[in-house]
Amino acid sequence: MARPSRLPQDANDLLLYKPPEGVSLNTEPGITVGAEDEISDTNSLRGMFAETNTVYQGCYMRGPPDVVQYDSRSGDFVWREDTFKNFPVHAVHDFKTLRGRPDLCFFDKTDFIMTLESFPEPALAIHEPVKKGHLNPGRYFVLQFDFSAVDRSPDRKEARHNLDLMLNASIKQFYRIYEPYLRMSADYLIENFIKNTAAASLTACVNVVHNILANNKSPEDPLSMIKGIYLMADEYDSYSNDYLVPIDSVQSKLPRRADADSMLKGFWASVTNGLGERKIAQCYITGVLPQSLVDNTSGFNVARYVSWEPELGGYCGLTEADITAALKKVCKSTAKAKKHFKIMRDHYNGFNFVPGGQGPLTYNTNTCLEYLQCLVEGEPMNYPRSVTYSEVSGASLRLLAASPVATQLLEDGLFSGSEQGKNVEERVIPFNKIGQPFTLASLAGDLARSKAAWLSIMVHLGGLTFCVGKNALRIPNLVAAERFGSTILHKHQATLEDVNGAFKLLIDDGNIDRILGLYARGMQEHDVGARDFKKKEEDHCNSMRFTLLANVHPSLRKVGVETTITKPSGTPGRIDMLVSVPSRKRLFVLEWKSIQIDFIKIGSGSPSKRANALADITDPSEVLDLKFKNDKFRAGQTINEWILIGPKGGKGYSPQQQLRDYVQSREIKKWEQDGYTITPVLVVVVGSRHVLLWNLEGDKLDAFPRLALE
């Protein structure tokens, strides 16, 4: 399922639904689907646990006398009238905690258990005794791995070592917990069966458990009821995605995961080999993408993919009915409830997990609980986007922001001409098809080959969601838009304050240099790979627009700057950008050109070394005096000569003439007739290290070429 939350912290917290092998389900904080199944504890040698509670539609079937008896319900919203004070935010994420705290409410999603059972796959079926309310706890040894707890080092070897440490530490803890049943001391087990690699340690652990259970012959032995190991892998992709190399069209090598991921493949191969009776009897994985299961678990995904089934659409978050019921409870008036409902709908609503939008629009659970808790405490959130939790992790945001394919998808869809003027969360990205399981290799390549896979990963990461009634995707809400926009700015070494300041100059003073200077700074930091230096005009133009001028950050979309990119037919290599400020009747006409480092005569060695030599030049006249090389029509010319008179032998128009012709075109004249002040600027990206700016005055470029600076 999409973006499952953290697993229970101990064995007693497993929910009523019996997870199938290789299947994970979303259980957000504050949402419960039942009570415990057949999981072992260590508090007693014979029964291991006392019988635990079962909940169906908010009513207890049985349980200890100290559990909360809820007496109020509105839809799925459940609370105790005389004691309710808080919503279960952040750390409160299991039913055991909820049932022991009378101050807490919860949202009951128990009906989805029966929905899951309606699917024909055996792996999704509920144990018959559990379905009838007959629980037999103490049937598994629980081995839990929390991948979110791994120390993520940027050094790949150290990362692999840290992952081994976490996995081995979990196996050591397993030995300590179940020492009485394993018939050997924990120290002996750790000394003899913890290996250098976690994969080997897991294999040894499975063999220890299997040998002990298989040799048990007495039905009176406490081990006779044990079915094997229940392996829980929590927040798998929170670790794995940190080491996912961005699928970048300018990289010189095919994408791959890090060395740490190679070890993960070996680890999951050990899990697969260890599946079986009295071995690894069940496996439950949360926070895992379909891609991870295909690429990294050796075909471990053994069940049907059900995340996008319409019947489960409301399982992955809170519905409008849930929010309405909660607001009715905490707000003192209908007017206040309506006010806060609108705020929450704008900021936290919008997730639709069913293609074609057949499912209900759901709200992000964690952000809603945080907002509702502020209302309960009498301190409404002044800035609703400042919630601490985001559906999209920081690692996932960085991954999407770093991919030219992903950013181009957003650029083509969200900022197409037909989408101009709409709020960012209303703009759409159409698609013909979208994949579910896919491999990392399918993310490689250009837009045409990898679009379906990229759209799929963006949906699964929470960056995009399905639109209602059409084959299209969109950014879910304002919180997602803001965080995605901020991540893009950070990647390009810019801050929101930087861009706001540049926009102010653009709007108030008609000065576009600052915004282009920000792009130049980000380009110098980001363009370091072999194929980075092969970017063409459209690459730089699109990157500039998406990163800065059309960034999805909501606050930047309010300033009133609009952009359009055109490529006139029959003019290869020509890219024009129009930047308009309707409130001030300003129009900037930008003619983009790119000179790649391989065509510039400067220095020696690798493209990176020559680019560094170019970066040391700070005088625009020196940049203009650089000569072309390795170019059929421009070799031996200076950049200045090419700009003013064009390629040698009259083989094409000069950039000066192209800009002049566009300014005199019917399209630009129409803007002029509408009262806009026209500012034509030639923008030349030189070797991915400088952005040369040159204004057109009348028919000619003026006498003041300059380098874009912050």
In tens, the pLDDT along 481-535 reads 777 777 777 777 788 888 888 888 998 899 999 999 999 998 888 777 777 788 8
Question: How far apart (Å, rounded) are the C-alpha atoms in residues 299 and 237?
Answer: 16
Confidence grade of residue 393 (pLDDT, cut at 50, 70, 90): low
Note whether 168 and 201 are within 8 A (CB).
yes
* Number of other residues whose CB lies within 10 A of the CB of residue 389: 17
pLDDT digits (tens, 9 = 90+) for 428-469: 788 877 766 555 556 655 666 777 777 887 787 777 888 887
Least confident of 198-207, 297-306, 504-513: 297-306
User: What are the respective helix, strand and coil percentages of the chain, to the nearest 5?
Assistant: 45, 15, 40
Confidence grade of residue 634 (pLDDT, cut at 50, 70, 90): very high
- 351 SS3 class: strand
Residues 6 or more apart in contact with residue 234 via CB below 8 angstroms? 6, 7, 144, 145, 146, 147, 148, 286, 287
Question: How far apart (Å, rounded) are the C-alpha atoms in residues 619 and 704?
Answer: 12
CA distances to 416, 624, 641 from 649, in Å: 38, 20, 12
Length of the chain: 710
Which uninterrupted H or E stretch holds 597?
A: none
Question: How far apart (Å, rounded) are the C-alpha atoms in residues 654 and 634?
Answer: 11
Q: Which residue in 588, 595, 592 sits closest to 571, CA to CA?
A: 592
Residue with tokens 């635990």: 52
* Number of other residues whose CB lies within 10 A of the CB of residue 343: 14
Least confident of 4-18, 101-115, 333-347, 562-576: 4-18
Note whether 705 and 620 are within 8 A (CB).
yes
pLDDT digits (tens, 9 = 90+) for 133-165: 666 777 889 999 888 777 766 676 787 788 889
Q: Which residue in 105, 27, 95 sits closest to 328, CA to CA?
A: 105
Note whether 424 and 484 are within 8 A (CB).
no
State both tokens at 443: 């993310």
Confidence grade of residue 5 (pLDDT, cut at 50, 70, 90): very low
Q: Residue range 393-412: average pLDDT?
A: 66
% pLDDT > 90, the chain = 29
Q: What is the pLDDT of residue 84?
A: 93
Q: Is the pLDDT of residue 166 over 60?
A: yes
pLDDT digits (tens, 9 = 90+) for 349-363: 878 888 877 777 888
Note whether 498 and 551 are within 8 A (CB).
no
